Structure 1
Amino acid sequence: MASNSISSFRWYLKKTARSGMCLATLPSKRLLLSNKQSNYSPVRVLTYHRFGDINRDPFCVGIKDFQAQMDWIARQNLAVSLTDIESFLAGKKDLPRNAVLITIDDGFRSVYLNALPILKEYSIPAVAFITTSNIDGGNAHSYTQNSETPEPYLTWKEVEALAEAGIAIGSHAMTHRSLGKISLDEASQEAVMSRESIEKNLGINVTAFAYPFGTFCDFNNSTTLILHQSGYKLGFTSQHGAVVQKLDPLTLPRIKVEGGEPMWMFRLLVSGGLDEWRLIDRMLWRLQQSP
């Protein structure tokens, strides 16, 4: 299996930038929270990918770290479900201030082996977005040619076990290609065929889609229309920010949770410490582009 570890310089540079932004936004967040007249009630969708103990891999969150995070969320009573988000965006339900939805992209096996027991222990709902062609040992469309995946993908039996445990299953496309960089017909196939595959294998209704890569160039008005026509109610990007009721439900922002970060930073992240990272997403989107 390939390693996704990055250089020490790049690792510490990004960690300094992320922690610095969290600390810089702290005064404004405290002021907002102290304003009892404020109607601002943001929800944040947290993005995870893999779970394990790998050195300098931002996409892999340590198991003990994930447990500490879920323990804190459970004690704060902040966890909400995909259905809660749908109702919130439709104006049918109020959610706790700084409520969070846990989402996990790609469909790697550590979701089943390492994350599921912790989610069950704390009764925290979550969404697993899977790339259907990779399930049951499919090839790794989501990686550059001739590279190896960092860990095995889920099997359909494991995906079924996730669903039976209360984890919502969403689509991460059929072959993990950028919908914004392929033809509209191909993008439609990615959206429709992945949903149909999940529904056929699990016998459930799929309503949510997470854009592969999710950078500024991976979605647009045309892809939003495709998701709508394909029967999805919610679409999630990788653009940072809070979810509020005025947003388009098919281009929702999320907050990436990275490995190797302390608990104080996670608490700030949940309260909005990385919301302004969306400025980085906008300015440096060419560096974030998918292959």
Structure 2
Amino acid sequence: MSGQSIASSRWFAKKAARMVFGGGGSVAGRVFRSSEPQIRVLTYHRFGEGVHAPFTISAHQFEQEMAYLAKSGRAVSLAEVEAFAAGNAELKCGSVLVTFDDGDPTVRTIAMPILQRYGIPSVVYALSGQPKGFDLMSFSELREIQTGGITIGSHSISHRSFGQLSRDEALQELVESKSVLENELGVAINSFAYPFGTKKDITPQVVACVREAGYTTAFSSLHGPIVSGSASQDLLNLPRVKVESGDPAWLFPALCDGAMDGWRIVDTSLAGLQKPAEEHREAAAA
């Protein structure tokens, strides 16, 4: 979907809230850091020079962030994260996986050269249909970025909230999206990212459908860390951390260390204040 701006008042309120959470989280993380290794999965969407568009990141910002990950040795692959989450592998605490939702063409034209320059593994969770309002890579372009080192996962066909679909509709989307991508790309597609990914988009019925469709990992938009082999951790409802434009430079290293984990309070406690999922696009709460 093309990057959309949000109202100035909402923009500045959101930036202030992220800085408060980020600053407080940085201090709390140093004092109360878990004794168990934790890693995080970062979410990006598209790239460009958006004005008050939280999910449109400039090439300059993205390059700074990838340079930091390369220098700090934090970047890991989806396969490494999956093994870690299942308790089958060790990763350095603070490791980070880079992911992109939707499949915007700017991932190929702007992000991929930067990823290649710094040797950063990543995943594109691609929409396999053509939902209204989205500008998406073609299948040939998806094959190009796959050849360029980017792993592909599924993000559904229509980008509807699965929480609002019937069981049959949800299962059909999950199975068909997986099948289309596998046929076009020639690889198994076993990882999924929920459209919107809020608490109300991921019901127990939806998770059961994801499992039945054959996915082995799935990611939400709920903030937080992944802990190795945690009994309370559902591999089909793993958390991620959003990266936004307009954040101060210090916030990115901090969120890699868990500074934005506390935003999950907004994700969960204030879920009822979020806009309906079908209106939840760029201007979504959280």
TM-score between the two structures when normalised by the length of structure 1 = 0.91
Instruction: Return the alpha-carbon distance in structure 1 between the equivalents of residues 137 and 154 of structure 2.
Output: 14
Alignment CA distance shift 1:40-1:174 (3 Å) = same
1:217 and 2:213 are equivalent in the alignment = no
Moved over 4 A (4+): none
Gaps (5+ residues) in structure 2?
279-286
SS in 2 for 1:282: helix
Instruction: Return the alpha-carbon distance in structure 1 between the equivalents of residues 123 and 205 of structure 2.
Output: 25
1:185 and 2:175 are equivalent in the alignment = no
SS in 2 for 1:239: coil
Alignment CA distance shift 1:202-1:30 (3 Å) = same
Show the counterpart of 1:48.
Answer: 44
Instruction: Return the alpha-carbon distance in structure 1 between the equivalents of residues 200 and 212 of structure 2.
Output: 20
1:264 and 2:250 are equivalent in the alignment = yes
For 1:163, the aligned partner's letter is: Q
Bigger RCO of structures 1 and 2 (CA < 8 A, at least 6 apart): 2
Q: Which among 76, 87, 90 is matched to residue 80 of structure 1?
A: 76
**1:200-233 Cα distance to aligned partner (Å, 9 max, x none):** 0010011100000011110121111111111111
Instruction: Return the alpha-carbon distance in structure 1 between the equivalents of residues 25 and 202 of structure 2.
Output: 28
SS in 1 for 2:188: coil
Alignment CA distance shift 1:231-1:75 (3 Å) = same
**1:31-61 Cα distance to aligned partner (Å, 9 max, x none):** 245xxxx632111010000011111100111
Instruction: Return the alpha-carbon distance in structure 2 between the equivalents of residues 173 and 278 of structure 1.
Output: 24
SS in 1 for 2:96: strand
TM-score between the two structures when normalised by the length of structure 2 = 0.92
In the TM superposition, what is the alpha-carbon distance from 1:183 to its structure 2 partner?
0.3
User: Given that residues 216 and 239 in structure 1 are in contact (C-alpha distance below 8 angstroms), is that contact kept between their aligned partners in structure 2?
Assistant: yes
Q: Which among 45, 50, 57 is matched to residue 61 of structure 1?
A: 57
In the TM superposition, what is the alpha-carbon distance from 1:93 to its structure 2 partner?
0.8
1:97 and 2:58 are equivalent in the alignment = no
Instruction: Return the alpha-carbon distance in structure 2 between the equivalents of residues 285 and 63 of structure 1.
Output: 32
SS in 1 for 2:129: helix
For 2:95, the aligned partner's letter is: A
Show the counterpart of 2:281.
Answer: none
Instruction: Return the alpha-carbon distance in structure 1 between the equivalents of residues 153 and 168 of structure 2.
Output: 21
Q: Which among 93, 100, 105 is matched to residue 109 of structure 1?
A: 105
Instruction: Return the alpha-carbon distance in structure 1 between the equivalents of residues 96 and 270 of structure 2.
Output: 26
SS in 1 for 2:136: coil
In the TM superposition, what is the alpha-carbon distance from 1:8 to its structure 2 partner?
1.3
**1:127-147 Cα distance to aligned partner (Å, 9 max, x none):** 10011002xxxx42xxxxxxx
Instruction: Return the alpha-carbon distance in structure 1 between the equivalents of residues 32 and 143 of structure 2.
Output: 42
Gaps (5+ residues) in structure 1?
141-147
**Percent of residue pairs identical:** 39
Instruction: Return the alpha-carbon distance in structure 2 between the equivalents of residues 249 and 30 of structure 1.
Output: 27
Instruction: Return the alpha-carbon distance in structure 1 between the equivalents of residues 244 and 4 of structure 2.
Output: 13
Show the counterpart of 1:290.
Answer: 277
What is the count of residue pairs matched by the alignment? 274
User: Given that residues 62 and 260 in structure 1 are in contact (C-alpha distance below 8 angstroms), is that contact kept between their aligned partners in structure 2?
Assistant: no
SS in 2 for 1:65: helix
